[in-house]
Structure 1
Amino acid sequence: MKPARTFFQRLRHYYILFTAGFACFLIALAALEQEGMPRVWIGYLFMFATIVLYALIGVISRTSNVLEYYVAGRRVPAMFNGMATAADWISAASFISLAGGLYLHGFDGLAYIMGWTGGYCLVALLIAPYLRKFAQYTIPDFLAERYGGADNAERGGRAVRILAVVATISVSFTYVVAQIYAVGLIASRFTGVDFSVGIFLGLASILVCSFLGGMRAITWTQVAQYIIIVVAFLIPAIWLSAKHSDNPIPQVAYGKLLPKLSAREHVLQDDPKEAEVRAIFRQRAADYEARIKTLPASWEAGRTDLQRKLDSVKARNASLLEIRSAERELVAYPKSPDDAEHAWTEAREQNLQRAEPITPHATPYPGDKETSDIKRNNFLALVFCLMLGTAALPHILMRSYTTPSVHETRVSVFWTLFFILLIYLTIPALAVLVKYDIYSALVGTDYAHLPNWVSYWANVDKVNPLFSISDINHDGVVQLAEITIDADVLVLATPEIAGLPYVISGLVAAGGLAAALSTADGLLLAISNALSHDVYYKLVDRSASTQKRVTISKLLLLAVAFIAAYAASTKPGDILSLVGAAFSLAGSTLFPALVLGVFWKRANHYGAIAGMVTGFTLCIYYMLHTSPVLGGAPANQWFHIAPISAGIFGIPAGVLAIIAVSLLTPAPGRQTAALVDYIRAPEQ
């Protein structure tokens, strides 16, 4: 036990020094800001310093040893594995988007916190200790051995392995695209580079860690990243808490501020100017509806009007600015009646949404009885999908293999929950604090005196603005309905909204970057390991040397990373939606096979194959047919369940398929029963 203690003490010493060094770095940047250093240079320094730090850890931790590359040598102490897993878990969705989702949706946004936190309890109870006792490298490894290898059912085991690999890649790729999208968002905001360039700058950091050292490098990088994440998230929350409630503890301020926020919401709801703005949005929606009903004549008339406008400004020798503006309007006009129908329908929905009355933050499932029931059902469905999806995420479950023992794995899950809750208990408080600040400070401001941060964030993405304020009723005063804020921007803008020094904005950006990079590292490694270990080594070339296996994994990781970066550069959707889809896929495809594989001896490879195919197919089918982003329509929804919660159908279907097919086919042999008994036996 002495070497293990020595290793733990050495790690503790290193990370205490790292924390002290990071604090000195912050103090130095704060002093430089006071001396007049330009903001853009502070952004550059944060980005450069953190990326160089992660790259340095990757270089120091480089390895070609299979055990080190895949599972960090199975020697990570429980507390540090908990920190690394927490960093792996606190993705861009948690750090950047979750508080924004709560800001926009109020009580309904708590589904994410409840689902993700409850999911970790399932990991601790149902899966993690048993995976560690099995002592393999990947999730497909466990499933293939449980459903085939133990009884030499080679063909069945191969089929299960292939399906598990497909599921791992599908889930992890969807998830990693969201993380790389967040990297581009942060890099473009704080360095001024183009969004696509920002994506590939962040990708360089991901690749250095994952490519050189695999799980070993990722683990020690993620511990450092967690320290940055927790500091970056808590400082603005503590500041706002002290500002609005004279109490520096956000969780305590949360309860005190909610009644004040509710009172402010009532004032704004009764404000005639707010009603005026919402009436304008309703009228705009009605105008779009009228244009849609008269297609294609309305499309032709609109195009003709814009062409005449352009000819007119050219004929009267208008300024170049007017001519360019008229040309841009004509170029942006829909190219066909079909394009017009799609664009105008989307515009109508956006205007209708902005015309809706204020949703009280603390009111669960607001609306009439039918609307309230639909919201409640979607809330519960989302919690269910996130819980079971969490318990089946390959990149999180892989960390069960990195601890020295089963006991350390159980303790590690406790530490993970502790470190996650430091952030998750602060997120609802931060959403309320920022909401109260905007409702009381920004709303009612003259447009001539808007704070500088408004223009900063309005210019981050001019095609799809993340933040905008428009004087809809031309009264020169900001109304709440005139503000549009994207969920993905709220946390990043919080320091500026709170009036903190710009160095804290850079710190929050570094925290968001750490959250996105730490998760992306784990996801890319899960994909490359599934391809190199479970496909190449297990199915193609069993005689491959350890050096060759690691090299193949590194090359595949490189290829997957660039494909994911390209997908993220197309801006496929908001971060929370992408992440939610990954959880439904994981729960539908992997959770039934994992849990029944541990707790039901009768489950066989026929049942596992049927369950994985059924769950995956049903989940994908529902998403494709109900999500407008994927070409579906909300009218196709079953019981009004949103596509993000497709797992509510896929997971039960997968469980039933495994049970039914297993009972209708021959039972597994004695070796499988013995394997299940061994996995479930108490640790000696």
Structure 2
Amino acid sequence: MAFGARARLINPRLGTYFSIFAALYTALFLLVLIFEQLKFDESFLRIAFLAGPIVIYAAIGLCVGTNDILCYFAAGRRVPAAYTGLLLGASALGGTFIVAGTGAFFFSGFDAVILLMGTLTGFVIMAIGLAPFYRKFGAFTVPSYLGRRFESRGLRVITAGIAAVPMLLVLSAELRIGGHVAQRLVGGSANNLVFLLALTIAISTAAGGKRSFTWTGVAQSIALFLAVLGVATTISVMVTSLPIPQLANGPMVRGMVRNEVNEGLQLIKVWPMAFQLPPEGFSALTKPYTQPFGSIGPLAFIIGVFAIATGVSTAPWLLPRVAATPGVYEARKSIGWATVFSGLALLTISSAAIFLRDFTLDAVMSERLGPLPQWLHNAAAHHIVTFDQAATRLGFAGLKFDRDGVLFALPLLVDLPSAFSYLLLAGAVAAALVTASATTVSLAAVLGEDVIQGMSWEPPTTQSRVWIVRGFIVVVAFCGAMLCVTAPSDPLRLVLWALSLTGASLFPVMVLSIWWKRLTVGGAIVGVISGFVAGAFAIMMGEMGTLSTPGAIAGILGLPVSFALAIGTSLMRPEVSRHTVEMVRDIRVPGGEIIYDREMQRLQLRKHSRT
């Protein structure tokens, strides 16, 4: 009976719908490929690859618009685990980890595994310690969960204000990376393209909230994986004759490391707290690919993995996604799928970095004869690499690659048609859109539910509740674009700041709220505020150079402060109400009613009885 009831909740045609989207996207690529061979205008083909997917995303979002509360804020709690996992994996990576992460693997080699380990560890923590219990509670936002868990309106509003900061940082980073990628695709002003992407987010998500974002985001995630896996597999077949790029690069690495040392890349020793992931812009290769701790010190590596993991596990733009699954079991499964998809994407971009490393080594080999490879000149024309084009011999120091352009050098290595480059650029834009949409919808829900309505438990009317958040989606998208244009910063650094602040402020209180019954509302408030303040202060000191911990990961130093003060404050007044203890016990039981829905129904009945 349970299986039958669950099956009726899920639309059985979802696979068909998204197969149609994948077929449309593939058809667009094939048409552009054909038109390219027929010598059509290149600018028209580039615009088609940007505008075509955007129109499809907007159409999907508008077609699933709704005014139903449960659908608007939790996609009706009927999203299958695989689709939720796909969306979680893509939203956790975004355009920043896909584009800038490829550059990090190219320049830092082994040390960039910090991105892979941090993300996957974060999903493991989420699956074991947070997601099932958050799904049982069923709150639409993290501040709503904490407010109802401790019966505190003040905690709800404070958490909303604090959670808004990392979400704005992520939104700005994704719009910036998306604008620069779109500029590579169609040219023009990056700032104008940033506002175009913000408008796309508003149109595709405002009509249906989480429901529109869910199905638009799944389509964008499919576009991302089709692009990255398709191009990487094609390169792998042409270079190694194997169609599995994640495994085909092993033999390449063994010979590459020895030759890199012979050609001038010597082992580098850094101090244990060094954190030198490549910055935005052009840089030269300085260390062998497989050397560990050549750009990130061992202590900084451990702290960085912990910062990314805690940030991912409690990210207020990721964790509420599990509330859209049909049940606790599906919530656990969705995190497993998220781990698979995010790991696959990160392994693929690391393979792409190895392919480019191998071609770069071939270009600088001292015994190489003849002119420089043509792919170098093509990459220079696309502003991916700079070098002295009059030289006949190059060393690693003479080649400088754009960190955010490394991924897009792949099709140039084996002289693939330009359609492959357009496909890869469109996939990167889709990656930026999915994470930017996730933060926009989540932040709008926080502002509408936890700030505007935060000091009252009385649920407003359905129409006003939906329209308030709908308006905030437009406002948040525009504010994110303005922040991106007026205060441009390195997207990778912004995301690392956001994850560190999230881990410092939200992770301790979220974990204690589930696993420690004696946590009081005062302890929760002190823990959230102290973690955020200490993390922000540590980031500022790290960026100024007055703190030994690098600023990119220094924010996580607020986590032990938050834990200590939350526990200490709670022990000072250990009284906990019977209702709170029963709620914690209820959260830990997988079956039964959804706690948040039950509480909202009771409030609605009270309101109805008074009127």
Aligned partner of 2:237 in structure 1 is 242
Distance 2:414 2:195 in 1: 31
User: 1:183 is aligned with what amino acid?
Assistant: G
Distance 1:258 1:436 in 2: 8
Q: 1:550 aligns with which of 447, 459, 466?
A: 466
Deviation at 1:116, TM superposition (A): 0.5
Deviation at 1:544, TM superposition (A): 2.9
User: Does 2:168 align with 1:173?
Assistant: yes
State which drifts further: 497-506 or 95-104: 497-506
Q: 1:227 aligns with which of 222, 227, 239?
A: 222
- Structure having the higher helix fraction is 1
User: 2:319 is aligned with what amino acid?
Assistant: L
> In the TM superposition, what whole-angstrom CA distance separates every residue of 1:3-39 from its partner, at most 9, and x where no partner exists?
7536442111111222222222222221111111233
Note the 1:645-664 alignment, pairs <5 A: 645-664=553-572
Q: 1:480 aligns with which of 392, 396, 400?
A: 396
Contact 2:349 / 2:407 at 8 angstroms: preserved in 1?
A: no
Aligned partner of 1:667 in structure 2 is 575
SS in structure 2 at match of 1:32: helix
Identity of aligned residues (%): 29
Aligned partner of 1:375 in structure 2 is 297
Aligned partner of 1:678 in structure 2 is 586
Aligned partner of 1:91 in structure 2 is 94
Aligned partner of 1:342 in structure 2 is none
Aligned partner of 1:607 in structure 2 is 523
User: 2:7 is aligned with what amino acid?
Assistant: R
Aligned partner of 2:353 in structure 1 is 431
Contact 1:8 / 1:77 at 8 angstroms: preserved in 2?
A: no
Aligned CA distance change for structure 1 residues 360 and 158 (closer, same or farther; 3 Å): same
Contact 1:187 / 1:202 at 8 angstroms: preserved in 2?
A: no
Contact 2:62 / 2:208 at 8 angstroms: preserved in 1?
A: yes
Contact 1:181 / 1:571 at 8 angstroms: preserved in 2?
A: no
Distance 2:283 2:57 in 1: 42
Deviation at 1:239, TM superposition (A): 2.5
Contact 1:59 / 1:209 at 8 angstroms: preserved in 2?
A: yes
SS in structure 2 at match of 1:91: helix
Note the 1:518-557 alignment, pairs <5 A: 518-539=434-455, 542=458, 544-557=460-473
Aligned partner of 2:34 in structure 1 is 31
Aligned partner of 2:508 in structure 1 is 592
User: Does 2:386 align with 1:468?
Assistant: yes
Distance 1:476 1:252 in 2: 34
Distance 1:3 1:666 in 2: 43
Distance 2:570 2:375 in 1: 65
Distance 2:105 2:75 in 1: 36
User: Does 2:504 align with 1:502?
Assistant: no
Contact 1:468 / 1:485 at 8 angstroms: preserved in 2?
A: yes
Q: Unmatched 5+ residue regions in structure 1?
A: 150-156, 272-348, 367-371, 459-465
Distance 1:455 1:103 in 2: 17
Aligned partner of 1:389 in structure 2 is 311
State which drifts further: 519-528 or 78-87: 78-87
User: 1:454 is aligned with what amino acid?
Assistant: A
> In the TM superposition, what whole-angstrom CA distance separates every residue of 1:211-257 from its partner, at most 9, and x where no partner exists?
11110011011111121111111122222322332322112222111
Q: 1:365 aligns with which of 293, 303, 307?
A: 293
Distance 1:431 1:588 in 2: 32
Note the 1:108-507 alignment, pairs <5 A: 108-147=111-150, 149=151, 157-269=152-264, 358-366=286-294, 375-441=297-363, 451-458=376-383, 467-470=385-388, 475-507=391-423
Q: Name the count of aligned residue pairs.
A: 573
User: 1:534 is aligned with what amino acid?
Assistant: D
Distance 1:512 1:220 in 2: 18
Contact 1:230 / 1:422 at 8 angstroms: preserved in 2?
A: no
Deviation at 1:449, TM superposition (A): 6.1
Aligned CA distance change for structure 1 residues 563 and 250 (closer, same or farther; 3 Å): same
Aligned CA distance change for structure 1 residues 33 and 441 (closer, same or farther; 3 Å): farther
Aligned CA distance change for structure 1 residues 448 and 500 (closer, same or farther; 3 Å): closer
Aligned partner of 2:271 in structure 1 is none
SS in structure 2 at match of 1:485: strand
Report the TM-score, using the length of structure 1 for normalisation: 0.80
Distance 1:138 1:448 in 2: 53
Aligned partner of 1:289 in structure 2 is none
Aligned partner of 2:7 in structure 1 is 5
Distance 1:390 1:502 in 2: 35
Deviation at 1:541, TM superposition (A): 8.9
Contact 2:530 / 2:562 at 8 angstroms: preserved in 1?
A: yes
Aligned CA distance change for structure 1 residues 190 and 53 (closer, same or farther; 3 Å): same
Contact 1:468 / 1:483 at 8 angstroms: preserved in 2?
A: yes
Contact 2:328 / 2:590 at 8 angstroms: preserved in 1?
A: no
Contact 1:603 / 1:667 at 8 angstroms: preserved in 2?
A: no
The CA RMSD over aligned residues, in Å, is 2.4
User: 1:514 is aligned with what amino acid?
Assistant: A
> In the TM superposition, what whole-angstrom CA distance separates every residue of 1:105-162 from its partner, at most 9, and x where no partner exists?
1111110110011100001001111111112211001111122x1xxxxxxx122112
Contact 2:139 / 2:320 at 8 angstroms: preserved in 1?
A: no
SS in structure 2 at match of 1:667: coil
Distance 2:283 2:325 in 1: 50
Contact 2:518 / 2:574 at 8 angstroms: preserved in 1?
A: no
Aligned CA distance change for structure 1 residues 543 and 121 (closer, same or farther; 3 Å): closer
Distance 2:20 2:428 in 1: 22
Distance 1:86 1:475 in 2: 44
Deviation at 1:183, TM superposition (A): 1.5
Contact 2:157 / 2:454 at 8 angstroms: preserved in 1?
A: no
SS in structure 2 at match of 1:362: coil
Deviation at 1:176, TM superposition (A): 0.7
User: Does 2:530 align with 1:637?
Assistant: no
SS in structure 2 at match of 1:565: helix
Deviation at 1:60, TM superposition (A): 0.1
Distance 2:47 2:226 in 1: 19
User: 1:650 is aligned with what amino acid?
Assistant: G
User: Does 2:43 align with 1:48?
Assistant: no
User: 1:253 is aligned with what amino acid?
Assistant: A
Distance 2:552 2:455 in 1: 34
Q: 1:57 aligns with which of 47, 55, 60?
A: 60
> In the TM superposition, what whole-angstrom CA distance separates every residue of 1:401-453 from its partner, at most 9, and x where no partner exists?
10111111112212222222221222222211111122214777857967453
Distance 1:50 1:476 in 2: 42
Deviation at 1:164, TM superposition (A): 1.1
> In the TM superposition, what whole-angstrom CA distance separates every residue of 1:275-294 from its partner, at most 9, and x where no partner exists?
xxxxxxxxxxxxxxxxxxxx
Distance 1:202 1:477 in 2: 42
Distance 2:373 2:194 in 1: 35
Contact 1:488 / 1:574 at 8 angstroms: preserved in 2?
A: no
User: 1:30 is aligned with what amino acid?
Assistant: L
SS in structure 2 at match of 1:488: helix
SS in structure 2 at match of 1:120: helix
Aligned partner of 2:269 in structure 1 is none
Aligned partner of 2:609 in structure 1 is none
> In the TM superposition, what whole-angstrom CA distance separates every residue of 1:526-559 from its partner, at most 9, and x where no partner exists?
1111110011123269463221121111222212
Aligned CA distance change for structure 1 residues 184 and 673 (closer, same or farther; 3 Å): same
SS in structure 2 at match of 1:539: coil
